[in-house]
Chains A and B, each alone.
Chain A
């Protein structure tokens, strides 16, 4: 009896721990103290160092031998998910061997990847020369898109309202933004 409770208890502890999307063995080789700003200032001095970075995709481009994702850097939470709204320290490039579907790795999607800093590339962004740190990724995670789904507030309502009432209630400012008429 007691062992059962113990198993349950530790089982819950295990399950409730949030896991990072990057695997344990890759995470252990990564330099977590190396900040994005440092690398951004002088990428070439950090060649060979390993990092876990993430952010929002600007564009994905397939080139011979692999694919490049241009990313706007975002801070990562404990599971590795980019957050922080508009807060960013700059842009960087993930390079990955093989083909990446640009319609899936599309603009605005969030990615997190782990890999090696291989240097930097200067490219034009608008009218400016911009220096992108380049990371060759070994593990890449595309975060699921959360679709903006509008739920009918009457869905869980135990009563079905006849037509005029259903819509009259929607018009009340109480329901707020996604107006429905």
Chain B
């Protein structure tokens, strides 16, 4: 009897860490509109004013004002768990407004980030010698992806003959 209980407990414990890391809260996911495409957002940010979106990409630059800050992000397509995919596919850049200081040593260039927020509109800003129209979103939730990781570390549960080894 006691053995059974221990066994059940062990089984439960072994299952526990399999739960996926939460990148963006369930609430933010359910509120966000998956039918707002970034290509359309870039072309006409005002049309999507107030809409909730989840976007991601890699950090281009950090700008801090006296009390607030904003991130300039190069948009990337999102994959599993809203992780930005590396590669050359992008539909442009966008800005994310933070109500507080953003540490440039943490939010370093080229780090992957996923943000949930509300569309605030568009803003023209100089880029090289042209003026670039950035869609602007507010930051409600963000997730900075660990460096040099291709996905969230997750346990791989497998039973086999060991033909493919353990990775």
Which residues of A come within 8 Å of B, CB atoms? 61-64, 99, 101-104, 142, 144-145, 152, 154-160
A and B contact pairs by CB, cutoff 8 A, 24 listed: A62-B127, A62-B128, A62-B132, A63-B130, A99-B130, A101-B74, A101-B92, A103-B74, A104-B74, A104-B88, A144-B88, A152-B165, A152-B167, A154-B165, A155-B164, A155-B165, A156-B165, A157-B165, A158-B161, A158-B163, A159-B162, A159-B165, A160-B165, A160-B166
Q: Which residues of B contact A154 (CB under 8 A)?
A: 165
Q: Which residues of B contact A156 (CB under 8 A)?
A: 164-165
**Contact A155 B167, beta carbon cutoff 8 Å:** yes
Which residues of B come within 8 Å of A, CB atoms? 58, 60, 74, 88, 90, 92-93, 127-130, 132, 161-167
Residue among B128, B165, B166 making CB contact with A63, cutoff 8 Å: B128
**Contact B162 A160, beta carbon cutoff 8 Å:** yes
Chain A residue nearest in CB terms to B128: A62
Distance in angstroms from B39 CB to nearest chain A CB is 14
**Chief secondary structure at chain B's binding surface:** loop
**Contact A61 B88, beta carbon cutoff 8 Å:** no
Residue among B128, B163, B167 making CB contact with A102, cutoff 8 Å: B128
**Contact A61 B129, beta carbon cutoff 8 Å:** yes
Q: Which residues of B contact A144 (CB under 8 A)?
A: 88
**Contact A61 B74, beta carbon cutoff 8 Å:** no
If A62-B128, A62-B130, A64-B130 touch, whether A158 touches B88 (CB-CB below 8 Å) is no
Q: Which residues of B contact A102 (CB under 8 A)?
A: 128
CA distance A160 to B165 in the complex (A): 6
CA distance A131 to B59 in the complex (A): 34
Distance in angstroms from A30 CB to nearest chain B CB is 25
Distance in angstroms from A154 CB to nearest chain B CB is 6
Q: Which residues of B contact A157 (CB under 8 A)?
A: 165
Q: Which residues of A contact B90 (CB under 8 A)?
A: 101, 103-104
CA distance A99 to B132 in the complex (A): 10
Closest 6 CB pairs of A and B: A62-B128, A63-B129, A103-B74, A62-B130, A61-B128, A160-B166
CA distance A101 to B129 in the complex (A): 13
Q: Which residues of B contact A155 (CB under 8 A)?
A: 164-165, 167
**Contact A64 B74, beta carbon cutoff 8 Å:** no
Q: Which residues of A contact B161 (CB under 8 A)?
A: 158
Q: Which residues of B contact A61 (CB under 8 A)?
A: 128-129
CA distance A157 to B167 in the complex (A): 11
Distance in angstroms from A16 CB to nearest chain B CB is 27
Distance in angstroms from A156 CB to nearest chain B CB is 6
CA distance A99 to B93 in the complex (A): 12
Chain B residue nearest in CB terms to A100: B128
